[in-house]
Every structure is written in structure tokens, then in C-alpha cells.
Amino acid sequence: MPYLIILFRRITQAVGLLFAVAILNFSLIHMAPGDIVSTLVGEMGGASPETIAQLRKSFGLDLSFPEQLWIYLKHVAQGDLGTSVYYNQPVISLILDRVPATGLLVMTALVLSLTVGTTLGVLSARYPRSWLAAAVNVLSLFGFAAPVFWSGLMLLLLFASVIPIMPAGGFYDIVNGGTGWRKALDIAHHLVLPATSLALIFLALYSRLSRASMLEVMGSDYVRTARAKGLRESTVLFKHALRNALIPVVTVAGMQFSAMLAGAVLVEAVFTWPGLGQLAFESILRRDNQLLLGILMLSAVLVTVGNLLTDLLYRMIDPRIQIDA
């Protein structure tokens, strides 16, 4: 089937899915007790019933559930994610303000976990009885067993208190961060611990996965043929074996993207990283529903696009795969 038609069909399916997700998100959030007015009144230390009623009316919270849902869907269809009641700012601008921080964190963790994880997996498959393979096994066990917030806190205490070479949180040094390249370097410095924390769990996953996949591929006929042709071991390993072994890794990486975003919520909370995760966490506690719905919608779009790209990557890695199958 031509590529464009497949792409069009997938995009249509994705739009339908996003619409269903929007309804589900709105309904679930609506079921939670309390609302943003409770948060505002609590933060203010109280308010009169008249003020509370006025606030509810101005935020449209006095309307029935179907009316609120209809208004929300209408706005979403027009690309308008609404206004955050808490910050009194458009949701889209609040989200866009936080996207760079989360993007940087997630992409760094993704690259780190994929490259280091795959490399470790390949090496431990190549030398299965070596100390390296044993170390990778231990690392995998640790990565799986340690919750991301725990490993984050441990890294924080180790490298910000015991051996104080890392910042204890934040995106950059507010007082002395500088500008230009100094600021970039400062951000990189602040990124080391959160990215490592987030990458740890996925690094364990990818190293185990690539190891298992490589072990399977290494025993296949075409690898034997490649060796029989007299190719160099590195060529056999990286050009012939790894390319095929990567398919399950890429599949899982696509599926794990949403898990990585979820992990970012915890990491951002531990390291005061001003990203979308922290914003989502705060908006849940405050019942800032418009903002939360906006973040969830963005997350749904990212996961859908991520899965779509995974499908397309399959074909690039292995042209034998029929994308419409």
C-alpha cells in the first residue's frame, strides 16, 4: 500500500483516538472531589459564600457536566486548550514554557538509556561469561528494582551532599547562572542527575532486551554466513546482528515513551526541574483542570506520534516489514 495512504489512515485513526482520550480525561478529572475554587479559597485562608459562588460562575464550574464537556470539546477542536484558572494564563503558553525543560530531560534520558543500554547489552551478549555481563545483570536488577524517585533522592544525597559536585535541583543557577554558553553549561550541569535518574530504569530495560535479542540473532544463519564470508567481527556484530536485534528495542522504546514521561513527573518533583511533569503534578493537587487536561492532551499526542514514528522506523530498519500488516 502506498506510504501516503497508510500515513493518512494512521493519522485519521490517531485523531479519533485523541478525541476519545479527550472525553475520557475530562470525565475522569470531573469525578475527582473538590475543585480549583477550593484550592484558591484554601490558599487565601477563606472566602465568603458570595465570593465562592462568583468564582465558580466565572470559571464555568456552575454549568452541568455535559455543558462543560461540550464547551471543552468545542475549544479543543478549534485548537484552544483554554485558560489555567490558577495562573490566569493560556494553557498553551504555560505548556510551551515547560516543554523545553521536559523535552531536554526526556530526550537526554532516552538517548542515554538507549545508547548505553544497547551498548552494554551487545557487549554482554558478545562476552556472555565475562565480568561485564555479570555487571550488566546486576545493573539491570538494580535499575528494575529501584523506584525512580528513590534512586533520584540517593543520587541527590550522594552528589549534592556527601560529594557536593552537583547542584541540588533546579534548571539553572538563578543567581550566578550567566548567559549564552555559560548558561548552557550550567543547564547541562543541572541536567546530569535528573537525566541519570530517569535513564537508569530504562537503561536496565534496554540492556536486557538488546542482550536477549542479540543472543538470539547471533545464533541465526545469516550471522553464521557473514562470519563464514570472513567479515570482521565488528562488522558482523554491528552491521548484521545489531540491526536486526534493534527491532524489539525500538518497539519497546516507542511504547516506553509514555512511561518515560510518567517517570519524568517524579524526577522533576525530586529535582525541582521546572518541566511539564511538575506542572502536571501541581495542577492535579490544585484541580487546575484546564491545565491538567491540556498536559494530558499533549501527552496523548506525543505518545500517538511516538507510536506512529515507531511503525515507520520499523520499515526503515527492516524493509521486509509490511507497515500495513
Partner 1 sequence: MKPKALFLSAFVGAILIASSGGVMPAHAQTKTLVVGTASVLRHVNPALQAAPVNQVGAQIFASPLRFDKDWNPQPYLAQSWSFQDDGKSLLLRLVPDATFHDGRPITSEDVAFSIMAIKALHPFNTMLAPVERVDTPSPTLAIIRLKHEYPALLLALSPALCPILPKHIYGDGQDLRTHPRNVDRPIGSGPYRLTAFEPAQHVTLEKYPGFFIKDRPKIDKLVFRVIPDPVVQMLEMERGNVHMMVGIMTAAQVDQAAKVPKISVIEKGGDAIGPVGWLEFNLRRKPYDDVRVRRAIAYAIDKDFIVKNLHRGASQVATGPIANGSPFYSDRVEKYKLDLDKSNRLLDEAGLKRNPQGTRFVMNIDYQPGIPDNYMVIAHYLRSQLRKVGVDVSVRVSPDFPTWAKRVSNWEHETTVSGAFMWGDPSIGVHRTWVSSNIRQGVIFSNTQGYSNPTVDAMLAEATQQRDLTKRKAIYAGFQKILADDVPVAFTHVWSRRWAVNKDLTDLPLGIWGTVVPLDQIDFKR
Site of interaction with partner 1 (CB under 8 A) = 32-36, 38-39, 41-49, 51-52, 86-88, 98, 153, 156-157, 160-161, 164-166, 168-171, 173-178, 182, 185-186, 188-189, 192, 269-272, 274, 278-279, 282, 284-287
Q: In this complex, which beta carbon is closest to partner 1, that of residue 237 or of residue 303? A: 237
Say if CB 204 and CB 140 are below 8 A apart.
yes
204: alpha, beta or left? (left if phi > 0; alpha if psi -120 to 50)? alpha
Q: In this complex, which beta carbon is closest to partner 1, that of residue 208 or of residue 286? A: 286
Q: In this complex, which beta carbon is closest to partner 1, that of residue 72 or of residue 271? A: 271
Q: Smallest gap, in angstroms, from Cβ of residue 87 to partner 1?
A: 6
Strands (DSSP E) along the chain, which ranges?
Answer: 83-84, 89-90
Q: Smallest gap, in angstroms, from Cβ of residue 250 to partner 1?
A: 21
Q: In this complex, which beta carbon is closest to partner 1, that of residue 2 or of residue 33? A: 33
- The overall longest dimension of the chain from CA atoms, in Å, is 85
| Distance separating alpha carbons of residues 265 and 304, to the nearest angstrom | 19
Q: In this complex, which beta carbon is closest to partner 1, that of residue 52 or of residue 133? A: 52
Q: Smallest gap, in angstroms, from Cβ of residue 271 to partner 1?
A: 8
Say if CB 74 and CB 26 are below 8 A apart.
no
Say if CB 83 and CB 90 are below 8 A apart.
yes
Q: Smallest gap, in angstroms, from Cβ of residue 318 to partner 1?
A: 24
CA-to-CA separations, 314 to 114, 141, 320, in angstroms, rounded = 16, 29, 9
Q: Smallest gap, in angstroms, from Cβ of residue 216 to partner 1?
A: 25
